[in-house]
């Protein structure tokens, strides 16, 4: 087990929105919202994630991969071709931006695992996760930064507006959006280090520093996760993957593992519930994300906002019509929704869970 | 008269001008250093162990105990104790005994580890304003939980957990048997454990009936001598511990001399009065890991599946052994480092066998994680925990809780003189002489021990607050928040800790 790593820390601003009726919203709103919080970042990282953007390829996993050079692309594609049916390969469309003089090679693949690779009980999702782990930890210079279906992440080193322009974010339409601007305090700009961080259709944007990182990392390693990014966000993403997808917890229970209720609150509940929550803490003590954070995580069926257990980072939510907004600052919401029907500050550790209406 | 060529270690001195001849020193000394000479107190300094009982009880501050200035010629290689032990062995042909943990100057890893603190990017938390949680549950945990929502919409746990030991803070009192310590000393431990919401461990000496009221704060121990073991005993506490080894004397058994076995000890241990109580080196029904499994399950069957802890000394191959113990069904692995205390052990064993607890915790925690079975058992680390800082570091390295014993005895008056095996403890702790044990008032000293535990509790909360975390489980195994100072890279690698500055 490698312990001699340098952890990546940063402060941040985040914003997100979801249309419960699956109305596809242009990326321009989220860009406007994020750019209002420019001073929460320092130009060393910004990114966007959107759901519902690839309706024509919704049954394929959309791999967004960044390569340091063309040689790496060759070896990564070799690996993909051996394991996946590739429906389409294309460069991710970008637009030259003065403020972004250099960028990695950015490719997009719509793929599905080859049937004969799914041995035994391996489900396609598990196979994709193992591919992501393998490529990101073993192929130097290649990095899969998005791997879900009908969703995608776009991120890089730059200001929110420049990154948006570079990736032509305004041309995408999605029903759930998350976005993030970053204030890293110790890392050189690396495109993979920007948020959102994704795995399958989980996408995470995160503001905070998880002080329990060391044990969270070791706990995840016990379940085969390889933490290559050394960011808190990566921990949050894998933790949700473990608790929800692999252990079958509900989103609400997973949130209560990540931001556990205090013992005194658990003890005051009725017997059955107290027993259940006690067990949750006993079993998932190492999954508790301790330290300041606010997190938005998007998934195929909704958007969740959650704060740490004593709310050491800001998170504001608002609703209007079928849209729910969540952001670090209320102003970022009002920038795109001037008169929401309801604005509230979610309490510490109490998740805001928004689900898409059934189709 | 035979006079040993091993010179006395200490010099007891009485200022005859200050001395008022009250003879309290004569009464208080359990070692027979002082006697009455008709007009003044006579001193036999060769019997002095520097326990300082006389010093504290002299009303005139007339007593001074100093290290004897008469020493062999100083020699960095042939040290004082080396020469002295050779002389004693030449005179007796015996094995020099000792008590307490090793006092040799091996590197103290705890003192080369520093804890992190928050600045700017993550806020520290004030434990006086915010909740700070130390509650710890010891026992086997499933790897995942499953819940269901009843028809009433209420949340329920689908599968119950195996029984857990609930601790208010991650500290327990390590095993010390009735026999090796006095009943009053055990009562101090029991009363403090109850008040502090933690547990004590009986050690291998049975459970005296006076401790029955404290049963829910007691772990009972089964060791190679099987002293005091019967079905009621096994079922008396919250858990049962199988003792395989002890950090101070790995690989060897125990020997409680007949002088320390009066009627009450004999009854509790279920042996005849005045006979030596010998605990064999191995358990004679455990010659391999599969035998241990049988005993674990025999005890579980006998106790309706209470948690079973297995205590081992930290030895070179501790990780593999611990893994085997967990796979054999133990709910708790109790690791005892080579600095751990003892009531009696050969010096040569105490000072030269075993490994430091810090290495053992790191190795065991790593191994159990590599094998994906860390959740199957809790780790208790003991053997030289001197402060809340040591406790925090042990937990950060991967322990669920720490065991303290020497620190608890120090609250009762112990000065770590190391003569526990003689049965003459002037503080009434490691003795069965009624005139000595009567000095240890359980209520008075329980309060001191409670104070110590509360003080450490506050300190642990301050440490967590500085770390910016508010639950002990976020410190457990969080080696990212430790840094090594002056440790070589291989040691750092084994501990899984980065050097300071990185």
The verdict on a CB contact (< 8 Å) between A292 and B468 is yes
The partner residue sitting opposite B366, judged by closest CB among A1, A270, A282, is: A1
Condensed to tens digits (0 to 9), the pLDDT of residues B359-407 reads 999 999 999 999 999 999 999 999 999 999 999 999 999 999 999 999 9
**Pseudo-torsion of CA B237, B243, B248, B249, nearest 10°?**
150
Q: What was the pLDDT predicted at A9?
A: 65
In chain B the domains, ranked by start, together with CATH numbers, are 10-94 (3.30.70.20), 137-499 (3.20.20.70)
Average pLDDT over residues A209-225: 94
| pLDDT above 90: residue A119 | no
- Per-residue model confidence (pLDDT) at position B120: 84
Q: Check whether A281 has a pLDDT greater than 60.
A: yes
Contact across the interface for B122 and A1, Cβ inside 8 Å: no
Q: Kindly state the tokens that stand for B331.
A: 């709910």
Residues facing B468 on adjacent strands: none
A209: in domain: yes
Chain mean pLDDT for chain B: 95
Domain of A343: which CATH number?
Answer: 3.60.20.10
Number of domains in chain A: 1
Residue A186 has pLDDT above 70, yes or no: no
The residue among A89, A93, A198 whose CA lies nearest residue A151 is A198
Which member of A4, A215, A248 has the closest CB to residue B478? A215
The values of phi and psi at residue A127, to 5°, are -65, -40
Question: Is residue A63 helix, strand or coil?
Answer: strand
Q: How many CB atoms lie within 10 A of CB B113?
A: 25
Assess if residue A130 is contained within a domain: no
**Given an 8 Å threshold on Cβ–Cβ distance, is A222 in contact with B369?**
yes
A63 part of a folded domain: no
Q: B143 CA to chain A: closest CA distance, Å?
A: 7
Q: Is A313 exposed, middle or buried (0-12, 13-18, 19+ CB in 10 A)?
A: buried
pLDDT at B399: 98
Summarised one tens digit per residue, pLDDT across range B62-78 is 999 999 999 999 999 99
> Is residue A152 in a domain?
no
Measured in angstroms, the CA of A255 and the nearest CA of chain B are apart by: 14
- What is the mean predicted confidence (pLDDT) over A110-126? 91
The residue ranges of chain B whose pLDDT is under 50 are none
Pair A56, A115: CB distance under 8 Å: no
Please, which pLDDT band fits residue A10 given cuts at 50, 70 and 90? low
User: What is residue B278's three-state secondary structure?
Assistant: strand
Which residue, among B217, B219, B167, has the nearest Cα to B400 in the 3D structure? B167
- Could you report the per-residue pLDDT of A78-106, keeping only the tens digit for each? 999 999 999 999 999 999 999 998 899 99
For the record, the structure tokens of B183 come out as 């009943």
In-domain check, residue A316: yes
CB atoms < 10 A from the CB of B501, how many? Answer: 6
Residue A3 to residue B143, Cβ atoms within 8 A:
no
Distance (Å, whole) CA A128 – CA B227 = 58
* Closest-CA residue of chain B to A280: B145
By residue count, chain A amounts to 359
Asked whether the predicted pLDDT for residue A185 surpasses 70, the reply is no
Q: Tell me what pLDDT residue A188 has.
A: 60
B204: helix, coil or strand?
A: coil
Q: Which residue has the tokens 């990212």?
A: B480
Count contacts between A and B (CB, < 8 Å): 141
Asked whether residue A95 is domain-assigned, the answer is no
Quote the CA–CA distance of B189 and A333 in Å, as a whole number: 59
Question: Domain of A221?
Answer: 1-42+202-359
Nearest CA in chain A to B157: A276
- Distance between B357 CA and the closest CA of chain A, angstroms: 20
Quote the pLDDT of residue A78: 93
Sign for the pseudo-dihedral over CA of A240, A241, A242, A243: positive
Hey, is the C-beta of B124 within 8 angstroms of any chain A C-beta? no
Residue that is written with structure tokens 């699956």 in the block = A22
| CA distances in angstroms from A184 to A7, A38, A195, A207, A295, listed in the order given | 11, 14, 11, 11, 16
Choose, out of B140, B470, B479, the residue to mutate when testing the contact with A (most A CBs < 10 Å): B470
pLDDT higher than threshold 70 for residue A1: no
Nearest by CB to residue A290, choosing from B370, B372, B469, is: B469
Q: What is the pLDDT of residue A187?
A: 56
Kindly state the percentage of chain A with pLDDT values over 70.
Answer: 97
Averaged over A129-155, what is the pLDDT?
94
DSSP code of A261? Answer: P
Given the cut 0.90, state whether the ipTM is greater than it: yes
């Amino acid at each position: 087990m490698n312990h001699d790593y340098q952890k990546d820390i940063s402060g941040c601003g985040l914003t997100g929105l979801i249309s419960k009726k699956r109305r596809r919203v242009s990326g321009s709103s989220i860009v406007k919202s994020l750019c209002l919080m420019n001073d929460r970042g320092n130009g060393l990282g910004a990114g966007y994630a959107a759901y519902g953007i690839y309706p024509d390829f919704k049954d394929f996993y959309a791999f967004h991969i960044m390569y340091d050079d063309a040689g790496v692309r060759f070896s990564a594609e070799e690996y993909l071709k051996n394991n996946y049916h590739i429906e389409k390969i294309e460069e991710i469309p970008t637009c030259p931006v003065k403020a972004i003089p250099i960028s990695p090679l950015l490719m997009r693949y719509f793929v599905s695992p080859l049937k004969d690779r799914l041995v035994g009980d391996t489900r396609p999702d598990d196979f994709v996760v193992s591919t992501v782990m393998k490529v990101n930890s073993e192929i130097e210079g290649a990095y899969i930064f998005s791997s879900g279906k009908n969703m995608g992440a776009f991120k890089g080193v730059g200001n929110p507006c420049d990154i948006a322009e570079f990736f032509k974010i305004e041309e995408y339409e999605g029903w759930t959006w998350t976005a993030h601007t970053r204030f890293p305090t110790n890392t050189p700009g690396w495109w993979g280090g920007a948020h959102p961080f994704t795995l399958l259709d989980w996408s995470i944007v995160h503001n905070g520093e998880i002080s329990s990182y060391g044990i969270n990392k070791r706990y995840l390693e016990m379940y085969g996760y390889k933490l290559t990014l050394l960011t808190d966000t990566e921990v949050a993403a894998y933790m949700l993957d473990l608790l929800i997808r692999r252990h079958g917890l509900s989103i609400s229970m997973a949130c209560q593992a990540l931001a556990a209720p205090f013992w005194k609150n658990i003890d005051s509940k009725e017997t059955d519930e107290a027993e259940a929550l006690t067990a949750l803490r006993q079993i998932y003590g190492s999954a508790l994300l301790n330290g300041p954070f606010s997190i938005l995580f998007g998934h195929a069926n909704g958007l969740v906002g959650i704060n740490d257990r004593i709310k050491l980072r800001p998170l504001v939510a608002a609703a209007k019509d079928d849209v729910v907004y969540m952001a670090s600052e209320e102003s970022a919401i009002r920038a795109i929704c001037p008169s929401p029907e309801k604005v509230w500050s979610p309490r510490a550790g109490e998740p805001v869970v928004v689900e898409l209406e059934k189709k | 008269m035979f006079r040993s060529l091993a010179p006395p270690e200490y010099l007891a001195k009485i200022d005859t001008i200050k001395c008022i001849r009250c003879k309290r020193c004569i009464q208080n000394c359990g070692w027979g250093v002082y006697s009455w000479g008709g007009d003044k107190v006579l001193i036999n300094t060769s019997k002095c162990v520097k326990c300082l009982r006389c010093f504290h009880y002299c009303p005139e501050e007339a007593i001074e105990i100093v290290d004897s200035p008469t020493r062999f010629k100083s020699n960095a290689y042939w040290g004082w104790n080396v020469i002295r032990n050779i002389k004693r062995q030449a005179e007796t042909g015996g094995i020099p005994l000792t008590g307490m943990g090793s006092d040799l100057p091996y590197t103290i890893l705890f003192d080369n580890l520093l804890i992190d603190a928050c600045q700017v990017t993550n806020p520290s938390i004030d434990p006086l304003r915010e909740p700070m949680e130390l509650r710890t549950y010891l026992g086997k945990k499933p790897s995942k939980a499953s819940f269901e929502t009843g028809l009433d919409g209420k949340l329920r746990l689908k599968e119950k957990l195996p029984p857990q030991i609930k601790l208010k803070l991650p500290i327990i009192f390590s095993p010390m048997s009735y026999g090796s310590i006095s009943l009053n000393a055990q009562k101090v431990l029991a009363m403090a454990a109850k008040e502090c919401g933690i547990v004590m461990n009986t050690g291998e000496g049975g459970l005296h009936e006076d401790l029955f009221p404290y049963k829910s704060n007691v772990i009972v121990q089964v060791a190679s001598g099987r002293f005091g073991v019967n079905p009621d005993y096994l079922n008396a506490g919250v858990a049962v511990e199988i003792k395989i080894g002890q950090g101070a004397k790995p690989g060897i058994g125990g020997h409680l001399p007949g002088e320390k076995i009066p009627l009450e000890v004999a009854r509790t241990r279920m042996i005849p009065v005045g006979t030596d109580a010998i605990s064999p080196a191995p358990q004679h029904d455990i010659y391999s890991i599969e035998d241990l499994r049988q005993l674990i399950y025999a005890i579980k069957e006998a106790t309706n599946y209470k948690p079973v802890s297995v205590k081992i000394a930290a030895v070179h191959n501790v990780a593999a052994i611990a893994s085997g113990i967990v796979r054999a069904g133990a709910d708790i692995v109790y690791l005892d480092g080579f600095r751990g205390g003892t009531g009696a052990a050969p010096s040569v064993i105490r000072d030269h066998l075993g490994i430091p607890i810090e290495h053992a915790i790191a190795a065991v925690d790593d191994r159990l994680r590599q094998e994906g079975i860390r959740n199957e058992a809790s780790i208790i680390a003991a053997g030289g925990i001197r402060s809340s800082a040591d406790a925090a570091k042990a937990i950060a390295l991967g322990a669920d809780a720490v065991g303290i014993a020497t620190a608890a005895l120090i609250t009762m008056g112990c000065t770590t003189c190391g003569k526990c095996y003689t049965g003459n403890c002037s503080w009434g702790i490691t003795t069965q002489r009624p005139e000595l044990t009567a000095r240890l008032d359980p209520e008075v000293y329980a309060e001191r021990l409670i104070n110590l535990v509360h003080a450490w509790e506050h300190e642990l909360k301050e440490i967590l607050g500085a770390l910016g975390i508010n639950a002990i489980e976020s410190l457990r195994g969080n080696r990212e928040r430790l840094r090594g100072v002056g440790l070589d890279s291989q040691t750092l690698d084994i501990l899984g800790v980065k050097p300071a500055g990185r």
